[in-house]
Amino acid sequence: MRIAVPVANGRLSAHFGHCDTFALLDVDPNGKAILSRCDETPPPHEPGVLPRWLAELNVNVIIAGGMGSRARSLFESNGIEVVVGAPEDDPTSLVESYLHGSLASSGNSCDH
């Protein structure tokens, strides 16, 4: 399984479209372990580009702070599970919390 986290200044970017990079973490969901991490620079942000790009990178889940309903729908139509409301934290910590079922959501911080 591969999980993507939008990153700015080493932490989750509150708005996924304004991140510097995406942390891509390969995980073993059964063993609840992170196997590897790489950081990728996304293409320029335009509607619909990031869901397709992340799908091409074999991402299964995106953890975000906020995301509009259209973007969420585009991710889901590309087979990517969307988790919103994550706090601005280190990507590795967020993924570990997700794997253990303890990722706290503060609600979707995006209203569009």
* Tens of pLDDT, residues 51-69: 999 999 999 999 999 888 8
The pLDDT confidence band at residue 108, using thresholds 50, 70 and 90, is: low
> What span, in angstroms and rounded, lies between the C-alpha atoms of 32 and 26?
11
pTM for the whole thing?
0.92
- Superfamily the domain 2-99 falls into: Dinitrogenase iron-molybdenum cofactor biosynthesis domain (3.30.420.130)
Query: What are 75-96's pLDDT values in tens digits?
Result: 999 999 999 999 999 999 999 9
Handedness of CA 83, 58, 96, 33 (dihedral sign): positive
What does residue 27 show for φ and ψ, rounded to 5 degrees? -130, 160
C-alpha Rg value of the chain to the nearest Å: 12
First to last CA, the chain: 29
